[in-house]
Amino acid sequence: MIEFLAASIRIATPILLAGLGGILSERAGVFAVGLEGMMLIGAFGAAIGTAMSGGDALAGLAIALAGGALAGLVVAIVAVRFRADNMVTGLSLNIVAVGLTSYLMRILSASGQPMAIHNALLPVMPIPLLSDLPWIGPLLFAHPPLTYLTIVLCVLFTLLLKRTEIGLTLRATGENPDVVFASGLNPLKVRMLAVIACGAVAGLGGAVLTTQQVGTFTDGMTSGRGYLALAALIVGRWTPYGTAAACLVFAAAEALQYRLQGFGIPVSSYVMQMIPYLIGLAVLAGLGRNAHLPAAIGRPLDRRL
Amino acid sequence: MSEGSTMAAAPPPAHRLSRLRLSWRRLSLRLGRIGLGGQIALALVLSVICSAVLILLAGKNPGLAFLAIVDGAFGSPHQIGTGLNRATPYLLAGIGVAICFRGGIINLGSEGQIAVGGAGAAAAALLTPALPAFLAIPLALAAGAAAGALWSGLAAAIHLKRRVHEVLATLLLNFVALLLVQQLLAGVLGQTGAGFLQSPLMPRNVWLPKLAGWDAHLGIVIAVAAAALSSFLLWRTPFGFGLRVSGASRLAGAYAGFSLPRLTWSAMLLAGALAGLAGGIEILGLHHRLIEGFSLGFGFKAVTVALIGAIEPVAIIPAALFIGFLETGSLAMQRQIGVPTALVTVIEGLTMIFVLVAMSGRRR
């Protein structure tokens, strides 16, 4: 049971990181459909960065962060600056990300085949003492480093959004940009920065896949996790803890699938894989009218510079 | 030039500020003068330039690579036929996406709708093996369109009844649809012992006939006809008018007495039916069996095509042909020059981004 829950936490990590990034973007009023592409670029950056630097995972993470931020910058320019439709902008970023990562993987190796990368996975780092606690120890304190980072970020983002002026400005930009403008700040700039930060965090989420779970980059390896993150952050009502809970439920469904197959229970893996999406749809449908979207989300801002 | 001190007062008129510096606004005003067609052409040129840089990055000659694409796309009747076949599903699904776009509905679910449509057509074809072709083909295509409409109807229902944003509903249903088709192929529709998820080969009488002298099948004719009909629907009927008015302004649409839910239902069902038809045509015309992942990426390309075609059904014809031939040609580029075909996806995505920027000045 503990093992199953711990596995859920590990599977939830990349989705939650992307979701946390998405919260920044959506709270500032920009739909985060581009999460999938940001994750993919982050995953690619981490794999390439680690391999090129001779196995330095930190270099990989830095490149993932930078790559994600760059993807965020593109969305910021097109969707915020040029007021293009958020959804379609995000979608185009996802397409560019698929093409670009796959293309670069091939031209980086001379043979025209995808470059072969095998990085060492980030090791599990049990926290001394705490990890010896019964139940909670193996569940919360025996994970690879990025999982800890995600948990910390989850708490930090909650504090940031609820208790700081930055968070207030961010939320106000998503709810009523005119108020932000009236208070002497530039909502356009807030949105752009939020989307860039969203890209950086989501890129880190993608890096979890390559540095902590797989060790190599394959084409389109995010396979819908970005969209799941998007669903999770809405199900979690744009709060870090709520999003974390939603990600854990999605991840538990995936972990359960491996379990059941391991026990030889004849369960269709296709149906099991549908479960996160169905849960997402069901919860979204259940939230229905009560779901409170940031009021100004998706609404383009005038250029008041 | 006293900007700093007037911050607290009312913001100065935008036109005066925009004269002060070379602003984004000024840039887009300039672009506005070349018309929508010109803007889209410019977007295409820009994305081709970007891809030329990427080809240089690979240490290859962009000129040769583009020549190889043209040669690979138009070098022989066979290749032209392949390009036409390739363009067909993009055209059909793209029309559906465009109709939704016109009504302010963003339907990103073509991928799932195509997959389900293909499954519907395959099921109908496999269930009625003995019918003559003139009955079997329309029946299978109708089943495909119905299945696609069912799937988009599901998204429309979730959107309208439960107020879930249509992008999320359609996106999430894509994944469900792809898995559903895999489940069908692993079960009732599947061919046992194939080693690969696929249905048995369909009886020859449901194969779409080829156009005389070409390798292209009938699909492209159906798709072009659908484009013409959709254009008529959009510009010459009350339904099209209501859709465009409501798309431009929900308020104006409601005030003019158009029912938004009804328009949304019609647009979504129509888009789903077109995408389902695309799936059916792909199965009956090209693969002659249902195979796993046959629709992978189609839905997103449909959005690309709809945007390049300025969300106008007839203009989507050249847009779909462009993408279709680009993809066919890129195979030759990979073979002859060694530039990976993934470049095409980059071109598609970049074109979308540039078109979005180019269109940003105007309202849909």
What is the C-alpha separation between B95 and B223, in angstroms, rounded?
9
Considering the domain boundaries, does residue B94 fall inside one? yes
- Judged by CB atoms within 8 Å, which residues 294-313 of B form the interface with A? 300, 303-304, 307
Are residues B349 and A96, on separate chains, in Cβ contact within 8 Å?
yes
Q: What six digits make up the tokens of B237?
A: 């009927």
Measured distance CA(A63)–CA(A203) in Å, rounded: 9
Those residues of chain B that have pLDDT short of 50 are: 1-8, 17-20, 363-364
In angstroms, rounded to a whole number, what is the distance separating the alpha carbons of residues B349 and A102?
Answer: 13
Please, what is the angle between helix B342-359 and helix A86-108, to 10°?
150
Report pLDDT for B362.
55
Residue with tokens 């095409």: B344
Handedness of CA B304, B308, B312, B316 (dihedral sign): negative
Residue B162 contacts A, CB cutoff 8 Å = yes
Residues of chain A with pLDDT under 50: 305
Distance from CA of B108 to the nearest CA of A (A): 9
Task: Indicate the domain borders of chain A.
Answer: 1-112+142-288
Q: How far apart are CA B110 and CA A270, in angstroms?
A: 20
Give the distance from CA B258 to its chain's centroid: 27
Structural domain for B306, as ranges: 61-338
Residues of A in contact with B168 (CB under 8 A): 230-231, 234, 280, 284
Query: ipTM value of the model?
Result: 0.89
Residue B146 lies in a domain: yes
At residue A32, the pLDDT reads: 93
**Closest approach of chain A CAs to the CA of B204, in angstroms?**
30
Position A304 scores a pLDDT of: 54
CATH code of B124's domain: 1.10.3470
pLDDT of residue B28: 56
Choose which CATH entry (1.10.3470, 1.25.40, 2.60.120, 1.10.287) describes domain A1-112+142-288: 1.10.3470
pLDDT digits (tens, 9 = 90+) for B117-131: 999 999 999 888 788
Query: What's the pLDDT tens digit per position in B85-105?
Result: 999 999 999 999 999 999 999
What residues 214-233 of chain B have any CB closer than 8 A to a CB of chain A?
none
Question: Taking the model in full, what pTM does it have?
Answer: 0.88
Are the beta carbons of B176 and A89 separated by less than 8 Å?
Answer: no
List the single residue in A84, A91, A286 with the smallest CB-CB distance to B300. Answer: A91
> Looking at the domain assignment, is residue B6 inside a domain?
no
Q: In chain B, how many domains are there?
A: 1
